[in-house]
Amino acid sequence: MASTSAIESIDSFFSAFIKKKLIGPIEAAGKFFIFAQKAIASIFAKPFRGSEIIQHLEFVGNQSIGIILLTGAFTGLALSFQIWIGFSLLGASDLVGPTVALAITREIGPVLTGLVIAARAGGAMAAQLGTMRVSEQIDALEVMGVEPIQYLVGPRVLAAVLATPLLCALFDFIAMAASYMLSVHFLGLDEGVYWERIQLWVDPSYVYEGLIKTAIFGLFFGLFCTFRGFTASGGARGVGEATNRGVVVSMVMVIVLDYFVSNFIRFYYLIT
């Protein structure tokens, strides 16, 4: 008797352990993928949510311009200055322009835009939908015969996918403008050399690569933050948790996805 119960308790311990550590996350991932699939399909479903989409584009895009200008300008300034200090020791200050341009267009622009917008817009999405969930507004929508994913999630995700690359382009532009100002007008680099080297080293495809990456970041944080909000439960605490988890995971995933998508794009260029 005693031994069977010991085995049983070990058994139940392991099954509980497996359930918590293994099946739980897999189940959560499965739910997320089903949600993501529904959300993407809903963008193309009728009725077309034009005014909703414009409203969220305004929120994700227009209202982020200030913060992007600020972060972009200071990133361009700081990066140029640091690189200039190092390169001028080696007498390679001609290369400040292209080095900054490469770093901004390929990595720093997309990643910082992704991080800033995921925190700002993604956080708001998770909080809004979470509040709507716990205050029964989503139930109310459903009861009124409105498909809540189509009404609430589709337009937000689409806005994130469209607006994030545009903001990245803005970030790239303003960072380079700031870099140019500092390098040419304050650090005394030659204007002609500065631009000539950039043209020589930086390919337009690097900029496009950044835009593709940010569209993917937008897709991810749009889906994940709305998923967190949509499935929130447990009052104000639940909304806070959903927002927190949504933003943290989105920000980490921007950095993780950046690596994989960059490699994938490089691989794509290699084979074509």
Partner 1 sequence: MDQQQDVIKDIKKTEYAIEIDHLKKSFDGGKDFVLKGIDLKIPKGSITMVIGFSGTGKSVLMKHILGLMKPTAGEVRVLGKSLSKMTKSELHKFRINLGVMFQYSALFDSFTALGNASFPLLEHRREMSLEEAEKIAGEKLIQSGLDSKHFHKLPSEMSGGMRKRVGLARALALDPQILLYDEPTTGLDPILTEMVDNLIYDTHHSRKGSTSVVISHDLHAAFRIGDHVVMLHEGKVLKQGKPEDFLNSDDPLINKFVSTGVRREE
Binding site for partner 1 (CB under 8 A): 47, 131-132, 135-137, 139-140, 142-147
Geometric angle at alpha carbon 251, from 247 and 256, rounded to 5°: 145
Q: How far is the CB of 238 from partner 1 (least distance, A)?
A: 15
Nearer to partner 1, 207 or 232 (CB): 232
> How far apart, in whole angstroms, are the C-alpha atoms of residue 188 and residue 80?
12
Name the minimum Å distance from CB 146 to partner 1: 5
SS3 46: coil
If the CB atoms of residues 146 and 200 are measured against partner 1, the closer one turns out to be 146
Long-range pairs, 60-67, Cβ under 8 A, ≥24: 60/117, 60/121, 60/156, 60/159, 60/160, 60/163, 60/164, 61/159, 61/162, 61/163, 61/166, 61/167, 64/116, 64/117, 64/120, 64/121, 64/163, 64/167, 65/167, 65/170, 67/116, 67/120
How far is residue 114's CA from residue 218's CA, in Å, rounded to a whole number? 7
CA distance 68 to 169: 10
Query: Minimal distance in Å, beta carbon 261 to partner 1?
Result: 34
Closest to partner 1 by CB, 142 vs 190, is 142
Q: How many beta carbons lie within 10 A of that of residue 256, not counting itself?
A: 12
Contacts of 156 (CB under 8 A, 6+ apart): 56, 60, 125, 222, 226
Kindly state the helix (H) or strand (E) to which residue 250 belongs, with its residue range. helix 235-271
Q: Nearer to partner 1 by C-beta: 8 or 139? A: 139
Give whichever of 139 and 203 is closer to partner 1, judged by the CB atom: 139
21/46 with CB nearer partner 1: 46
Question: Residue 135 Cβ, how far from partner 1 at the closest point, in Å?
Answer: 6
Give the nearest distance from C-beta 147 to partner 1 in angstroms: 6
Rank residues 132 and 261 by Cβ distance to partner 1 and give the closer one.
Answer: 132
What phi and psi, each to the nearest 5 degrees, are found at residue 47? -75, 155
